[in-house]
Amino acid sequence: MKASKHEAEFGLSPSKWEDMFRRAKVQVEALDAARSERARATLLGSFLSQNIGREVPIEVKGRTGKARLLAVDAGKKQRRYWFEITWDEEQPADVRQEPVPDAEPITPTRNGAADPPARRPRPREASVDQPAASGTIATDPGASGTGNEEDWS
């Protein structure tokens, strides 16, 4: 998938991940054995590309959730990587809930129309034209084979 200008600026190239890998003690021996900056970037890119779309449980300061590694093509055989974080307590509200009815039903009168309802249903908050609430950018659906995981039923 070719990235737009905005998407290409999102995330980090593999070479920018080296410090984070070292602090997390991931692939440190392999990074130390690499002879050049380019070799380290290739090693990091290989590791990251193998894990695109993988979701892992995380905990930060007692808050639990899931992190998923995502990527976008940034041109010239380059990719940029980032994590999409979903916290467990942030569940989307069910937009299909029925509004709570008023205590007194509306009845028409003989002399004219009934009074309008005191409350009106709220309009839907999300529309087709608005981006997803998480603000993430979709990756190539063929890369991981999972597509966008939307429930169409």
**Cα separation of 151 and 24, whole Å?**
35
Domain count, the chain: 1
114-148 pLDDT tens trace: 555 556 566 665 545 544 445 454 445 545 555 56
Residue 36 lies in a domain: yes
Decide if pLDDT at 153 tops 80.
no
How many Cα neighbours within 13 Å face the side chain of 31? 18
Residue 17 lies in a domain: yes
| C-beta separation of 6 from 76 below 8 A | no
Residue 119 lies in a domain: no
Q: What residue type is 35 in one-letter code?
A: R
Which of 7-11, 36-40, 42-46, 63-67 has the weakest average pLDDT? 7-11
φ, ψ (nearest 5 deg) of residue 12: -125, 145
By residue range, what is the domain housing residue 5? 1-89
Residue 122 lies in a domain: no
Residue 149 lies in a domain: no
